[in-house]
Structure 1
């Protein structure tokens, strides 16, 4: 007789490779050149980190309402932490310092999540202010407004995305808005 020991395994929350695919989508979108060229995001390690956090927050926010989203959210956050750890080690940060830096990354993540959630619940200007402070280093309120409009559009797009598409990495982020041309 065969014994069904599969009940000891963690339940599979998404098809194999889905976490990597979704995290890859977040990273790819955060590296979109228009953010840096047209929206004033500093093309620095910190600027790229903050834009990655913005996209991770947007997706995790949507997953809060999806069945099975909690597990997927945790897996994505774990993948983010693994990526940050790998990047620190590639940059030559020593084993003694990595935990301190990871703690700082976690604090940055949770601080921004709280700030963006509160701002999104308020108004467009509040989200632009939070983005200006956290991503644009306090400068460029016009660009922050455009980035906030993008974030709201991304949230709306993700909100319209069905759960199967979310859980199988079959969704896209909206395009980055081109620079507005005034006549």
Structure 2
């Protein structure tokens, strides 16, 4: 009976659909040219991934402060995975190992979450966040003082705007990147 219901019954709405505007805004924010021009983030597949992971991490970190949003953070992470799967296939990763690569990307996102969480909670937030950016966003090689300051200050200002925004507004895509 369940098979027949799935085939012919009403299709239930995907709970991730409500978060698609937010995810689209995260991607739009991460793709803004200033990150790559003034901030000197590498305009490569890896650099673009790191920028998405940085912005997504800041949003997830804000949402995790509200325990009622645990389900939303999980769904937002699922949207990230859903987005990365075809991206990997587009660059030639085959079906047999795409899952392994997705696992690595999710693990990398988890690492960024930990690094940025620790930095945002540090006594000298700006210095700690800058160090986390160099390790993660810039793969250990600083881009120069002006570029690093641009990304640090812009990302921290974004995190501060998120902190002053209600969770429901964030979930509705109300982030101003």
Q: Does 1:81 align with 2:81?
A: yes
Which moves more between the two structures, 38-47 or 140-149? 140-149
Q: Say whether the 8 Å CA contact 1:112–1:134 is kept in structure 2.
A: yes
More helix by share: 2
Which moves more between the two structures, 48-57 or 122-131? 122-131
**What secondary structure, in the 3-state scheme, does the structure 2 residue paired with 1:140 have?**
coil
Q: Say whether the 8 Å CA contact 1:128–1:141 is kept in structure 2.
A: no
Please, what is the CA RMSD of the aligned residues? 2.1
Residue 11 of structure 1: CA displacement? 10
Question: Structure 1 residues 139, 171: closer, same or farther in 2, change over 3 A?
Answer: closer
Which moves more between the two structures, 129-138 or 75-84? 129-138
Residue 67 of structure 1: CA displacement? 5.8
- Offset from partner CA, 1:65-94 (integer Å, 9 cap, x none): 236311111111000011111111222211
Match of residue 133, structure 2, among 110, 131, 135: 131
Unpaired runs of at least 5, structure 1: 1-9, 174-183
Q: Does 1:152 align with 2:156?
A: yes
Matches within 5 A, 1:28-47: 28-47=28-47
Unpaired runs of at least 5, structure 2: 1-11
Residue 164 of structure 1: CA displacement? 2.8
Match of residue 140, structure 1, among 140, 143, 165: 143
TM-score under structure 2 normalisation? 0.83
Which protein, 1 or 2, shows the higher relative CO under an 8 Å CA cutoff with sep ≥ 6?
Answer: 2
Aligned to 2:174: 170
Aligned to 2:6: none
CA distance in 2, matches of 1:99, 1:120: 31
Residue 54 of structure 1: CA displacement? 0.5
TM-score under structure 1 normalisation? 0.81
Q: Say whether the 8 Å CA contact 2:119–2:129 is kept in structure 1.
A: yes
Q: How many equivalent pairs are there?
A: 162
- Offset from partner CA, 1:30-65 (integer Å, 9 cap, x none): 110111011110000000000000110111111112
